[in-house]
Structure 1
């Protein structure tokens, strides 16, 4: 079937959707400079006037700032700069990250959302951002979407002292664009778009990377063919777009016209056909081959505990290793497979060590490492191997469950292995972190 017919199907789909369904109203609320705001609130300071960055002072000045307050952004400091990029003449507070504190605040914000909107109509997009389908609530509260959004962000500020911005739209794409672009130029930090106003106000907007899901790579490829704006894409050669982006061109074209058919109900009902678990870390320094082997073993040990805790097993595992900066060769990537699914550490740790030794060049330093447990399935699907005693499998599982019980009761560092004390080991430090930063 040709692309012309596919485009026709898209148009028919939208016409049917618009005719059959009530127009929906969405809001998306974003907590302004969230981590920096929490640190200012905790210190009794105003985030709009306080010069503050969230960064770990124990790391080098090359560490990335997790958040920058609006007062510093007003001086031209980008939101994700490195500490050394902040001009020396600027006085500011450096707040060490407290990830658990931020999660606690995020939970309190979510509790405020639940005062107004059912959890079934909320999609938490990130720790500081959430979409809400408010279609059925506007008549209930006798409010417009703008009034409801304002009420919620006022409640957040009154309750927690956190400032927020709000995007409003007739679909999820327009809501996100209203938040990311329109709200920034609104005196009340609320942006509102429908398909008509989107085309009237943002079709000529540049750069394209300001729009949701348009990254630098996509923007650069479009620019090569003279497409610099959403209007250019909307009126562009569709055959060319499909040639450049494949099936993803349909989404790009839809967004260029301000269309998006996915709803929060669709997101909540989505179920992936396959599942995987991942362990990964960017190391604090360049590691030798031997130190990297310790990391690989530690990460697989943590992966095994995670699988036992979730009652999952797998028979396929992938290792990816990235070398240090300026290494003349790319990183390496490989997998191993077993005859049956397992989560037994006495099987998987030696296997990952073997794969690591096969893949990694001993002459190069290491900076990144990821382990993926592919296509995990529930334990009840596991079959015993002809090559491993069932008694050994059960013994390992009992030990792992005992370890989990101790860690859950007394803390992750309450019980450790000798492996965790070898040179280069990171598990002890990572047990006190959330998302790679201090808890």
Structure 2
């Protein structure tokens, strides 16, 4: 049992903009976001294009959602397919954050993603009323000023607010959970992947341990979970009890921090040298993100997905190295090693990679076997500085100017899509 009396008793709002991309586009087209039939997809000419957003009507009536493919969208005259306007979405997201700032100071706002934010309202209850009242005011302001629908979950911590949003508020508009709701509302959740923070792979592992609901997870032996999952096992256990000690802005799931990128290629890649060119470009981008946060990584994961002409398939493998790195060529050589070991010579359509097992990049331990490491690290940061000042396309590797390169094309996009 958990003694909730000793835990934070905050008032946290988790605000989600419903079908944000689709809703923004609907408003721009003069449509009702909740009652129109709208799909946002990047490239209409490719039937395999990913659906970035779908309006609530399309989700409910046709089962089309984010991540679906364009060929899955039924040929219904009511459905309108539009390209994304990423720059516009980002501007609207910024303006919505200004609405939040009317009610709480900036330090009490955590932008979780372009369409989801956390607000800590403890310090302003005497100004605006209780958390439900504040949520209603914010929801009304957004709807009045932007004509956009939203949902708000309220909880005593970030985790509970997020769970309340996903499991109840998205259906009701506004909902509030307290610690008293853990056993009656959270423990009934099944399948486990419906709980935030549990993906299919973790769910599969938990199922193999005889755990199929959040309640079963909460009553499972903590030591066995920690032995199986490490620190994440501890967090899974206490999250099942609604316990979250993280502050606003901190990651709710420690140990899940990583830097990754997945790229669906514009065409099928058959030649190995072309595939390697794209791998190098992606290594450059992923390591640049790590350097921007002054982080290094010990574990490098890499995978490819084969074309549908090859009947799909692929691989995804990881390797942990002795010395953590954020140097592009170090990561590239590990990815090449995994590529050479597991690649089956088939046509490639998607490449994925990530850096995990993250450490701070505050110091460098020199190696007698690699005296130039510090120069390569410094070169990476110098190149990043040039790109930050003059744009991401200001300094590119030669492979980006080959027919296989994708960096020049992607530099013209926002969030991987047209502005």
What is the TM-score with the length of structure 1 in the denominator? 0.75
Distance 1:261 1:353 in 2: 36
Contact 1:56 1:96 (C-alpha < 8 Å) held by counterparts: yes
Which of residues 81, 93, 103 is equivalent to 1:116? 103
Structure 1 residue 172: deviation in Å?
Answer: 2.7
SS at match of 2:57: helix
Contact 2:306 2:314 (C-alpha < 8 Å) held by counterparts: no
Distance 2:236 2:383 in 1: 50
Structure 1 residue 245: deviation in Å?
Answer: 5.0
Tell me the residue number matched to 1:49: 35
Question: What value does the CA root-mean-square deviation take over the aligned residues?
Answer: 4.3
Show the 5 A alignment for 1:43-122: 43-80=29-66, 81-122=68-109
Tell me the residue number matched to 2:347: 365
Distance 2:217 2:332 in 1: 52
Show the 5 A alignment for 1:328-339: 330-331=315-316, 333=318
**Structure 2 residue runs without a partner (length 5+):** none
Q: 1:108 to 1:250 in 2, by over 3 A?
A: same
Tell me the residue number matched to 1:213: 197
Q: 1:312 to 1:355 in 2, by over 3 A?
A: farther
Distance 1:261 1:374 in 2: 22
What whole-Å deviation, never above 9, does each CA across 1:240-261 have from its counterpart, x for those lacking one?
Answer: 963895554544444444x313
SS at match of 1:434: coil
Q: 1:94 to 1:238 in 2, by over 3 A?
A: same
Distance 2:239 2:46 in 1: 41
Tell me the residue number matched to 2:148: 162
Tell me the residue number matched to 2:418: 438
Which of residues 168, 171, 174 is equivalent to 1:190? 174
Tell me the residue number matched to 1:420: 400
Contact 2:189 2:195 (C-alpha < 8 Å) held by counterparts: no
SS at match of 1:165: strand
Show the 5 A alignment for 1:243-322: 246=229, 248-257=232-241, 259-265=242-248, 267-268=249-250, 278=260, 280-288=262-270, 289-302=272-285, 310=292, 318=300, 320-322=302-304
Distance 1:386 1:281 in 2: 34
Distance 1:357 1:228 in 2: 36
Contact 2:18 2:149 (C-alpha < 8 Å) held by counterparts: yes
Tell me the residue number matched to 1:3: none
What is the TM-score with the length of structure 2 in the denominator? 0.78
**Which has the larger displacement, 356-365 or 172-181?**
356-365
Structure 1 residue 25: deviation in Å?
Answer: 1.5
Distance 1:254 1:208 in 2: 15
Contact 1:296 1:352 (C-alpha < 8 Å) held by counterparts: no
**Structure 1 residue runs without a partner (length 5+):** 1-9
Q: 1:384 to 1:203 in 2, by over 3 A?
A: closer
What whole-Å deviation, never above 9, does each CA across 1:362-416 have from its counterpart, x for those lacking one?
Answer: 73333314264986765874869887779x959x949x858954x5566444565
Tell me the residue number matched to 2:221: 238
Distance 1:337 1:222 in 2: 30
SS at match of 1:35: helix
Contact 1:281 1:370 (C-alpha < 8 Å) held by counterparts: no
Structure 1 residue 37: deviation in Å?
Answer: 1.0
Tell me the residue number matched to 1:181: 167
Structure 1 residue 52: deviation in Å?
Answer: 0.7
Show the 5 A alignment for 1:197-208: 197-201=181-185, 203-204=187-188, 206-208=190-192
Q: 4+ runs of 1 displaced by more than 6 Å?
A: 269-276, 304-307, 313-317, 335-338, 384-390
Distance 1:435 1:97 in 2: 10
Q: Select the structure of larger CA radius of gyration.
A: 1
SS at match of 2:273: helix
Structure 1 residue 183: deviation in Å?
Answer: 1.7
Distance 1:239 1:219 in 2: 17
Q: 1:148 to 1:105 in 2, by over 3 A?
A: same
Residues paired across the two proteins, number: 412
